[in-house]
Chains A and B, each alone.
Chain A
């Protein structure tokens, strides 16, 4: 049959969402349910020496002593307490929890609690920080030789700021206690991350901890690790009170307390021949991790691996550090380090082109990675390496060269960026995860059992398409189980552009096995004669994939998706406001399983990238987000959205389902450098994003 993959079937979650029937976490209620609130530290660094609580007995207060198991949020390092005991490392660090039966009784609750602190001097500057969460070094070839071969050397420093994921549904969970067990419902991306954290926190055996994902109103990485913290909080209150406890952040709390994209400082030194061939690339990447390690090590990892951009160069040296500062921890956000480093390399490439006096397209054509070339980590690229095809398609579609010529010296500008994005976990990550996926035969078809979550990107629909075709059944015959750790196997987290390529492939293998087992029978016939059965598959790395974690070399990812953006802008000379007027987004993603949803990912990621480039700024004052309101943290509105023309190229990856690679994250890698390069075309030298009108005013050349 093979009729679902490649067509834009009706998405499975659509009808419930458009009628208001879909239940998000705040739409749920349980008998006897209490509401929980968090009391947070108000200083960036110090010790709590005294706590004064002025609350009537109908309020239940919990602190770290109420934690039955261990007091840390289990993720990578056990450094972040679930509730601060004495030490405070950032503003908004959680200290106490309060529960009450009346939601409104918790309004203004923080005014009833006062802490006496012994304050210490905070540090907000990653460059002077003495605590390093992670260092990474990548060396390819001989960097000294590369610079000796250079005829021209270009240096540059580029900075990016915090960015808030700004899912429209804030973080929220409900913890329901049972007899020596706990169930947490929540808006989250990674049920098994939350499960792991709860096991550590409660000390319960894994079978007594259950996590169920509810309809999730956007994540973008912001619900990768933070829900573990929030679930632990609700669980503490639920265990203490013996009642279900709902905790929903309002927007202010969500902005103040939850993770943001890591700010970065990236320094480039690039050696080239006069005709534009890169001979050496030295890159230094510094990321601000915030107060605790959270995922900084792996964000840095993806950042440095992408830091040399999609370019061929024999001599590369990359150094990366993630440093601690006294601000709320930074964490996962779509792109996961790559948007920062690819902003830097792509803004740098246009400065290089300018220094050499050559066309930015030509510079990229000369140096773009081709099939058979090797990346910074020495990974030899397969036939699907598509830097040149996406570049050429974008240049042609957008009329780049003509506009570049005609608009010179006007208020209009056009800029491009070339980028790539590794699909799946980095290095040996997928092997360590050893994800599983299951497929269960039903009377009418099959049910997908995976922990991969639908957060808007289309997981349930896309996975069902893959299974339908591999099982040779209609799309409608495939059901998708709501992620529930009691029912679904651990398919790994829903992050890293891995769901389609990794989990999709596992399900394709499950479906092919099931197809063989069914033989000539329909599911109904088989079910009637033999009953149900379940096929489970576990991740196996494609043959030949090798990674050396000590030397940071080898096959960093199973495959890469490739992208090129061309952004056209207009600058108002009176107000320095920038209007993106058109974006051409070309993406090579192996196979568009659902073209409409893939296009939606690209458009949405591109818009988020335009916000990153021009509008979105977290104003940190004394370690606290000063603009923690939707009025003041500025994301694009419908009036700010330019037309985004998407072109998808398909060069199948042999180990992806139907050739598919990852698509979710890559679209946010390219817009910011393309905008900044368009601004350069207009006469603005910008090395720091967001490029607000205030910064533009000062950067006019």
Chain B
């Protein structure tokens, strides 16, 4: 089977009904894509197939033959907004334990610049996080997609920090 993953063609001998997730992790060594549930609930295994976000645990590898598959490892090379998203997840607290993070970023990747908070929530509705309560994830995506809000790293962090009241 001939697959195109992160722009690179790979010829693999895999059963057609193998989960794309297993092929990525075990046959291609691309372990950035995570498994959290195996049933399309948690979104940790999200990748892009021809630009569309899918749960790779629910895609038989036969379905991506001839398609462009992009994983977190290839995100920055495939799409310009990826780097901003990745940076924002660090800057704005979107990544804590990090296990949902690749899936979150891949699910956010199809969003357009200036996406509203509702659009962000809709895009991420299929991704579970247990660390953040999601707010810092929404903040991260919003910051990455709204160029106007971008500032030097320390300023961003400080502005958020100033939100907390100080009593001595």
Assess whether B168 is in contact with A166, with CB atoms less than 8 Å apart.
no
Contact with B along A507-545 (1 / 0, CB 8 A): 000000000000000000000000000000000000000
| A-facing residues in B122-146 (Cβ within 8 Å) | 124-138
Assess whether B86 is in contact with A631, with CB atoms less than 8 Å apart.
no
Selected from B41, B138, B168, the residue in CB contact (under 8 A) with A651 is: B168
Known: A26-B31, A650-B168. A604 touches B121 (CB 8 A): no
Residue of A with least CB distance to B136: A600
Residue of A with least CB distance to B140: A18
Q: Give Cα distance in the complex from A11 to B35, angstroms.
A: 24
Q: Give Cα distance in the complex from A597 to B87, angstroms.
A: 16
Q: Give Cα distance in the complex from A557 to B73, angstroms.
A: 45
Q: Is B90 located at the chain interface by the 8 A CB criterion?
A: yes
Name the interface size band of chain B.
35 or more
Q: Give Cα distance in the complex from A486 to B101, angstroms.
A: 31
Selected from A14, A27, A599, the residue in CB contact (under 8 A) with B164 is: A599
| A-facing residues in B109-168 (Cβ within 8 Å) | 121, 124-138, 153-154, 157-158, 160-161, 163-168
Stretch in A114-122, A301-309, A324-332, A455-463 with 4+ CB within 8 Å of B: A455-463
Q: Give Cα distance in the complex from A607 to B91, angstroms.
A: 21
Residues of B within 8 A of A588 (CB): 167
Assess whether A630 is in contact with B99, with CB atoms less than 8 Å apart.
no
Residues of A within 8 A of B160 (CB): 8, 595-596, 599
Assess whether A20 is in contact with B96, with CB atoms less than 8 Å apart.
no
Q: Give Cα distance in the complex from A588 to B166, angstroms.
A: 10
- Highest count of chain B CB atoms <10 Å: which of A20, A23, A600: A20
Measured between C-beta atoms, what is the minimum distance from B119 to chain A in Å?
Answer: 12
Assess whether A8 is in contact with B157, with CB atoms less than 8 Å apart.
yes
Known: A8-B161, A19-B86. A635 touches B128 (CB 8 A): yes
Q: Give Cα distance in the complex from A604 to B38, angstroms.
A: 24
Residues of B within 8 A of A219 (CB): 97
Residues of B within 8 A of A600 (CB): 93, 96, 131-132, 136
Residue of A with least CB distance to B33: A20
Known: A18-B86, A18-B89. A455 touches B38 (CB 8 A): no
Name the interface size band of chain A.
35 or more
Measured between C-beta atoms, what is the minimum distance from B153 to chain A in Å?
Answer: 6
Residues of A within 8 A of B95 (CB): 11, 13-14, 17-18
Measured between C-beta atoms, what is the minimum distance from B126 to chain A in Å?
Answer: 8
Assess whether A15 is in contact with B99, with CB atoms less than 8 Å apart.
no
Assess whether A14 is in contact with B37, with CB atoms less than 8 Å apart.
no
Measured between C-beta atoms, what is the minimum distance from B125 to chain A in Å?
Answer: 5
Assess whether A643 is in contact with B91, with CB atoms less than 8 Å apart.
no
Assess whether B35 is in contact with A26, with CB atoms less than 8 Å apart.
yes
Residue of A with least CB distance to B165: A647
Assess whether A218 is in contact with B86, with CB atoms less than 8 Å apart.
no
Known: A630-B37, A638-B125. A168 touches B96 (CB 8 A): no
Residues of A within 8 A of B136 (CB): 596, 599-600, 603
Q: Give Cα distance in the complex from A20 to B46, angstroms.
A: 12
Known: A457-B96, A638-B124. A169 touches B36 (CB 8 A): yes
Assess whether A168 is in contact with B128, with CB atoms less than 8 Å apart.
yes
Q: Is A382 located at the chain interface by the 8 A CB criterion?
A: no
| A-facing residues in B29-73 (Cβ within 8 Å) | 30-39, 41-42, 44, 71-73
Measured between C-beta atoms, what is the minimum distance from B117 to chain A in Å?
Answer: 10
Residues of B within 8 A of A22 (CB): 98
Measured between C-beta atoms, what is the minimum distance from B114 to chain A in Å?
Answer: 19
Q: Give Cα distance in the complex from A649 to B154, angstroms.
A: 22
Q: Give Cα distance in the complex from A250 to B38, angstroms.
A: 8
Residue of A with least CB distance to B121: A638
Residues of A within 8 A of B33 (CB): 20
| B-facing residues in A1-49 (Cβ within 8 Å) | 6-11, 13-24, 26-27
Assess whether A168 is in contact with B44, with CB atoms less than 8 Å apart.
yes
Q: Give Cα distance in the complex from A636 to B160, angstroms.
A: 24
Q: Give Cα distance in the complex from A168 to B128, angstroms.
A: 8
Q: Give Cα distance in the complex from A10 to B156, angstroms.
A: 11
Measured between C-beta atoms, what is the minimum distance from B116 to chain A in Å?
Answer: 14
Measured between C-beta atoms, what is the minimum distance from B61 to chain A in Å?
Answer: 15
Measured between C-beta atoms, what is the minimum distance from B166 to chain A in Å?
Answer: 6
Q: Give Cα distance in the complex from A166 to B90, angstroms.
A: 23
Selected from B37, B125, B157, the residue in CB contact (under 8 A) with A9 is: B157
Q: Give Cα distance in the complex from A637 to B41, angstroms.
A: 10
Q: Is A576 located at the chain interface by the 8 A CB criterion?
A: no
Q: Is B100 located at the chain interface by the 8 A CB criterion?
A: yes
Q: Is A73 located at the chain interface by the 8 A CB criterion?
A: no
Residues of A within 8 A of B86 (CB): 15, 18-19
Q: Is A239 located at the chain interface by the 8 A CB criterion?
A: no
Assess whether A19 is in contact with B161, with CB atoms less than 8 Å apart.
no
Residue of A with least CB distance to B18: A104
Q: Is B105 located at the chain interface by the 8 A CB criterion?
A: yes
| B-facing residues in A629-643 (Cβ within 8 Å) | 629-631, 635-639, 641, 643
Known: A457-B96, A458-B96, A641-B135. A168 touches B129 (CB 8 A): yes
Assess whether A20 is in contact with B157, with CB atoms less than 8 Å apart.
no
Q: Give Cα distance in the complex from A458 to B131, angstroms.
A: 11
Q: Is A156 located at the chain interface by the 8 A CB criterion?
A: no
Assess whether A7 is in contact with B157, with CB atoms less than 8 Å apart.
yes
- Highest count of chain A CB atoms <10 Å: which of B44, B73, B125, B133: B133
Selected from B97, B121, B157, the residue in CB contact (under 8 A) with A456 is: B97
Residues of B within 8 A of A565 (CB): none
Residue of A with least CB distance to B166: A650
Between-chain CB contacts (< 8 Å), 11 pairs: A20-B72, A21-B73, A168-B34, A218-B99, A219-B97, A250-B38, A456-B131, A599-B160, A604-B131, A641-B133, A649-B167
Please provide the 7 A-B residue pairs with the shortest distance between their CB atoms, ordered closest to farther. Answer: A20-B32, A456-B97, A217-B99, A17-B98, A607-B133, A14-B90, A8-B157
